[in-house]
Amino acid sequence: MKHRNVLVVGGSGFLGRHLPAALSARGIRITVPTRRRGRAKHLILLPTADVVEADIFAPGTLERLARAHDAVVNLVGILHGRRGRPDERGPNDYGPDFARVHVELPQAILAACRANGVRRALHVSALGASPTAPSEYLRSKAIGEEVMLAVDDLAVTAFRPSIVFGPEDKFLNQFAAMPRFLPRPALPCPHARFQPVYVGDVARAMVAALDDPETRGKVYELCGPGVYTMKGLVGYVCAVTGRRRIVVGLSDRLSYWQARLMEWTPGPLMSLDNYYSMQVPNVCSGEFPFGIQPQAL
C-alpha cells in the first residue's frame, strides 16, 4: 500500500526538520502539529505540508488530527525527565515526564489510529532501550516501543537510532561550543561509546520502511560507520573546529557527582539519568538497513 497522507507527531523537532522534507519530496502530504507554529517555519515552506497549532497531549487532539491520514509517525522524545533519585527506584519505575512522553503518548497514538482506521505507524525508540536498562530514559523508551509493537491490528515499525548528528543538533554543537569557554574540558563518562548517525540517513531509512510490508513488527538499529568514545568524540570536535584543548576524562565517581550537580542547573546539559544511560554502549549490532550507506561523521 502506498501511504499518501501522513501525520508526523514531533515533526517540529530536530529529526522533524528532515523527515517531513523527505516525505514531501515524494509527494506525500504531511500534517505536523506543533504548540507554536512559529517553531516550524522551515516546514511551512514545504509544498505538501500542513503545519497546525495543537497540543498533542490534550484529550481528543490526536483523534482529530489522525482523521483522513493513512499513517502516523511518532518522533517525540525527551532526554530529561523529572528531577529525582533514579538510583533509589526499581528497574521498572520511570518518572512521570518520561512516562507521559514515551509511554502514554504512544498509547494515545494507537488509540487515535484505531479510532480513525489508520493501519500504519512508524515509531522512533532509542538504541539500548530495555525494560531493565539502568536509566529511566531507556526503560521508558523500551516500554513505549513494546506498547507499539504489541498490537496486531496495526503495521508498526520501530527504529533505534544512536546519537543523531547534523546541522543544529544539540549533541555535537554542544561539544563544539564547550572549548570556546573551557581551556581544559572535564568530561563525564569518557569511555562511553557512541556510533553517531546522520539525521538524513535516519529520515531515509524511515521513508524506505513506510511502504514496505516486510518491515511490519520489526525494530531497526540505525548507526553511522564509526564508533567513538565520549573523550574521542570531543577531541575530534575540537580538532575539526580548530580549537586545541586538553580533554580531561573524569573518573566514574566524579562523573556521577558532576551529573548529579548539573541536573539542578536551569536547562541541564546533563542529568543523573543521562549518566546512567551512558553506562550502556550506544552502538549497533549489525549493518545499516535498506541498503543505505550511512554518512561518516
pLDDT band at 107 (very low <50, low <70, confident <90, very high): very high
pLDDT tops 70 at residue 92: no
pTM given for the model: 0.91
Quote the pLDDT of residue 87: 46
pLDDT tops 70 at residue 89: no
- Contact yes or no for 259/270 (Cβ under 8 A): yes
pLDDT band at 31 (very low <50, low <70, confident <90, very high): very high
How does pLDDT run across 131-165, given as a tens digit for each residue? 999 999 999 999 999 999 999 999 999 999 999 99
Quote the pLDDT of residue 173: 81
Q: What does the pLDDT average to over 115-137?
A: 96
Residue % of the chain over a pLDDT of 90: 68
Quote the pLDDT of residue 69: 97
Q: Which of 60-69, 131-140, 255-264 has the lowest mean pLDDT?
A: 255-264
How does pLDDT run across 213-230, given as a tens digit for each residue? 999 999 999 999 999 999
Higher-confidence residue of 141 and 40: namely: 141
Quote the pLDDT of residue 26: 94
pLDDT tops 60 at residue 85: no
Quote the pLDDT of residue 59: 94
Own/partner pairs, 189-192, CB within 8 angstroms, 24+ separation: 189/230, 189/250, 189/252, 189/255, 189/275, 189/278, 189/279, 190/229, 190/230, 190/231, 190/247, 190/249, 190/250, 190/255, 191/229, 191/230, 191/231, 191/249, 192/229, 192/230, 192/278, 192/279, 192/281, 192/282
The pairing of beta strand 193-194 with beta strand 228-229: antiparallel
